[in-house]
Structure 1
Amino acid sequence: MAEYRSARPEERNEYIDLANYAFGADFETLLPKVYGKGIDSSSLQMVAVDEQGRMRALVAVLPERLNVCDHKLQTGYLGTVSVHPRARGEGHMKVLMNSWLERLSEEAYDMIVLAGQRQRYEYFGFTLGGARVKHTVTQDNIRHALKDTNAEGISFCPLFEAEGAVALAQRLNTSRLAHVERAAQILPQIMKTFNLNPLGVLEAGRLIGYLLVNKEGNEISELALEHPDQIVRTIKAYMANQEVWRVTVNSPDYDKALNAQLGELAEECVIETSDMYNILDFANVVEAYLTLKHRSTGLVAGEFSAVMDGQPVTARVDEHGVTVERTAKPDAVTLSKQQAQKLLLTQHSRYMEVGAPAGWFPLPLFWYKTDKF
């Protein structure tokens, strides 16, 4: 009989070795914010250990505090789902996943997030959704659309070699309408998640922002600058500096300044799903993200009432903003968990006959790559 429990500090090498073996990766390099040298992440790991004391499977959850328009949400990003090849089919992942879901529900988490194969995690109550905007900018776009844009004086350096990098990066992150809180003491490790390269953006030698780019330099997963008028100048300077033909820039739907400016010049713009989500507290999530959508792209006035996975929710938008109550009207629609998440998180909502005000859903959930796990 296998034992299912939290990992112990002295098992650090063992659970990292299991993850490395299962994925063929180096997790100390891939996720230094959790598995870096000197970091004890044993409390984040739930493991399956067989009768011989061998670690057979692992599922981890990284707790993350999320601030959405001053609404505080407790979330967890689930990852490192690892099963030893010789232990597959023994049911360890199912037990560990359900154990985590039960624990996080008891601890009053609002939502759990992960990235994974859709049907595999739908069995555990997750729904593929959210929104990531992806602009593709080419040198032709730069040459024609930005021919009169002066990018002189913009340069780049390794972010954490620049003076005041941690303070600026923290300030730019917390100034967003929605952000995951990032611990300043491990910010360099956080911003190197999944082998990202943090680049400081300087103007006349002064740090004005940063980019997080992939190894090849052709994908910007995060762009943060002090002022919107620095966006296209930075893109033009970056493409000249890197000598790449094509760059993809990812952003949340609610970043109006970035999306508006890139939309004026990009060769392509695609809106994709961002992650998989399991909502535990529907009222908190609806209130936070309706407020975000109201403050960014806007919402029409109206009311929507539903019982979502047994939780009554009534939301209103009027001249005073967004209000959400934990009650439901007598004629409220009743939705299962999967139906409710499809409505709130996916483009499928437009085909559902639920009487929601036009444009309210899907909600603009998004995780920056450096905040994933």
Structure 2
Amino acid sequence: MELIRADAGWKKEILRFADEVFGTDLPPGGFARLIPDVYGPDAPCDGNHWLILEEGRIRALLLTEPVSFVCGGDVLKGIGVGTVSVAEDARGRGYMQLLLKTVKEWMKKEGYAFAVLSGQRQRYAYWGYEPMEVCLTMQLEPGNGKHGLTRACADGQDAGISFSEMREGGEEETSACRLFESRPLHTKRKEQTFARHLKAGLCVPLTILRDGAFAGYLCESVRNGEPRITELELADPELYPAVMKAYWEKRAPEGFSVELAWYRTREFDFLEKICGRYLLRQGHQYDMADLKEVLRFFLRAKKELFGLSDGEWSFRVREEEGETALFSCSVKGEEIRVRRFSEEEADPAEWEKAEEWDKGELARFLFGTASFVRHRPGIPAGWLPLPLYLPSADAV
């Protein structure tokens, strides 16, 4: 048995193996079509896979693709973990445990603050992954379009709205990427592969035009005949009702759904008034390897999005190495500080005063739905939940 980090020469074998393991769960075209930015013909596939080999043959593999959040001048580096594959006749040998353990050690060494893994399988909790993140799915039915959207666009603003598939390498791709990057909190993407990146999960990136001029873009996913908007950005937010109505009329007359980060309050306020129903749910699973850096980044992001009241909050949590640590968070004006103390370093009185949390419960309270429905004393009002949300295009 041999454990290696694969170079570009392994791409063909990686695709063959992963397509074979996932089989009929994949669409025609396999992973090359499902995640074209990682596995497509022009993707290098170099250094982003860990393999376990037996006599030179792949027996298990794991994808580790860089994923970063950006807020102002701050960048929070992480990795997306995916394509979790073990040959059927090699299962039960501990290969996936070895790969996940190796990735955990490697990401800490390389300075990655978090790892994110799609899916909700509880077994990943053994390696530090906890379900967190808050997602909204807004469902619009035909009647919502006929009455709610039509009433919202009575002034005819939607008349000049049209959609066209985004071309790779075109001017609209550059405009869409720059629009995405203008948001106060976003993921890091490459301008030269922006359109291809949006095609993950069989999505179709569409340019939004108003009277023939670029007005924004959206990602459309159609599964089992049901259209879904997974991402939408507009140069002029006032056009949102008009774009929704035009999309309903031109592409989804039988209804559609919209995925939103919970902190996109402007879009939520509009859709909540007219949608048939909406769902508040957990998103991906994360391993917060550097909790101190993650807290500092997302507290700053929350301040950027909504503002934060001055205050302090300290808590204790048992880390994976078995040591309990004290985290002290404070906001004073523009200054945001997060400090970590071992028991030996901490002030004894502050240590005793701080509430101790289970790691999983803490993660769900910081970033998940728990803080919407449960109040915990000592936490400054408005601090939680923190604005963690990974668009589906960035999930591997």
Tell me if both proteins adopt one fold, taking TM over 0.5 as the criterion.
yes
> What's the offset of the Cα at 1:326?
3.9
The amino acid of 1:37's aligned partner reads: P
1:170 to 173, 177, 194: 177
> What's the offset of the Cα at 1:321?
6.0
Question: CA offsets per residue over residues 258-302 of structure 1, 9 Å max, x none?
Answer: 122222221212211111011011122112212222333454442
> Taking structure 1 as reference, are residues 172 and 120 closer, same or farther at Cα in structure 2, changes over 3 Å only?
same
> What's the offset of the Cα at 1:317?
3.1
Aligned residue-pair number: 371
Q: Is the 8 A contact 1:98 1:124 kept in 2?
A: yes
Give the structure 2 partner of residue 346 of structure 1. Answer: 368
Report whether the alignment pairs 1:204 with 2:211: yes
Report whether the alignment pairs 1:246 with 2:255: yes
The amino acid of 2:338's aligned partner reads: V
> What's the offset of the Cα at 1:242?
1.2
Give the structure 2 partner of residue 84 of structure 1. Answer: 87
Worse-matched range after superposition: 217-226 or 196-205:
217-226
Q: Is the 8 A contact 1:255 1:296 kept in 2?
A: no
The amino acid of 1:195's aligned partner reads: L
> Taking structure 1 as reference, are residues 275 and 170 closer, same or farther at Cα in structure 2, changes over 3 Å only?
same
State how far apart, in whole Å, the 1-side matches of 2:375 and 2:100 are. 30
State how far apart, in whole Å, the 1-side matches of 2:93 and 2:315 are. 39
Report whether the alignment pairs 1:259 with 2:268: yes
State how far apart, in whole Å, the 2-side matches of 1:83 and 1:354 are. 45
Q: Is the 8 A contact 1:69 1:291 kept in 2?
A: no
The amino acid of 2:147's aligned partner reads: H
Q: Is the 8 A contact 1:112 1:277 kept in 2?
A: yes
2:167 to 139, 147, 160: 160
> What's the offset of the Cα at 1:369?
0.8
Q: Is the 8 A contact 1:62 1:77 kept in 2?
A: yes
1:188 to 186, 195, 212: 195
> Taking structure 1 as reference, are residues 336 and 161 closer, same or farther at Cα in structure 2, changes over 3 Å only?
closer
> Structure 2: where are the runs of 5+ without partners?
none
For the residue of structure 2 that corresponds to 1:341, the secondary structure is helix
> What's the offset of the Cα at 1:339?
4.0
The amino acid of 2:57's aligned partner reads: R
State how far apart, in whole Å, the 1-side matches of 2:177 and 2:77 are. 19
State how far apart, in whole Å, the 1-side matches of 2:168 and 2:83 are. 31
Give the structure 2 partner of residue 71 of structure 1. Answer: 74
For the residue of structure 1 that corresponds to 2:93, the secondary structure is coil
State how far apart, in whole Å, the 2-side matches of 1:147 and 1:39 are. 43
The amino acid of 2:291's aligned partner reads: F
State how far apart, in whole Å, the 2-side matches of 1:68 and 1:261 are. 25
State how far apart, in whole Å, the 2-side matches of 1:267 and 1:278 are. 35
Give the structure 1 partner of residue 19 of structure 2. Answer: 20
The amino acid of 1:214's aligned partner reads: S
> What's the offset of the Cα at 1:175?
1.4
Report whether the alignment pairs 1:226 with 2:235: yes
For the residue of structure 1 that corresponds to 2:96, the secondary structure is helix
State how far apart, in whole Å, the 2-side matches of 1:293 and 1:163 are. 34
For the residue of structure 2 that corresponds to 1:237, the secondary structure is helix
> Taking structure 1 as reference, are residues 8 and 244 closer, same or farther at Cα in structure 2, changes over 3 Å only?
same
> What's the offset of the Cα at 1:234?
0.3
Question: CA offsets per residue over residues 81-128 of structure 1, 9 Å max, x none?
Answer: 011111111111000011001100111111111112331211110110
> Taking structure 1 as reference, are residues 152 and 217 closer, same or farther at Cα in structure 2, changes over 3 Å only?
farther
Worse-matched range after superposition: 295-304 or 33-42:
295-304
Worse-matched range after superposition: 68-77 or 306-315:
306-315
> Taking structure 1 as reference, are residues 85 and 162 closer, same or farther at Cα in structure 2, changes over 3 Å only?
closer
Give the structure 2 partner of residue 367 of structure 1. Answer: 390
RMSD: 2.2
State how far apart, in whole Å, the 1-side matches of 2:101 and 2:160 are. 54
Question: CA offsets per residue over residues 214-240 of structure 1, 9 Å max, x none?
Answer: 134610000111011111100100110
State how far apart, in whole Å, the 1-side matches of 2:375 and 2:128 are. 19
Question: CA offsets per residue over residues 197-225 of structure 1, 9 Å max, x none?
Answer: 01110000001111101134610000111
Report whether the alignment pairs 1:135 with 2:135: no
The amino acid of 1:31's aligned partner reads: I
Give the structure 1 partner of residue 5 of structure 2. Answer: 6
Worse-matched range after superposition: 296-305 or 105-114:
296-305
2:147 to 121, 144, 148: 144
Give % identity: 29
State how far apart, in whole Å, the 1-side matches of 2:384 and 2:56 are. 48
State how far apart, in whole Å, the 2-side matches of 1:369 and 1:296 are. 21
Give the structure 2 partner of residue 49 of structure 1. Answer: 53
Q: Is the 8 A contact 1:333 1:354 kept in 2?
A: no
> Taking structure 1 as reference, are residues 305 and 88 closer, same or farther at Cα in structure 2, changes over 3 Å only?
same
State how far apart, in whole Å, the 1-side matches of 2:260 and 2:163 are. 20
State how far apart, in whole Å, the 2-side matches of 1:3 and 1:352 are. 49
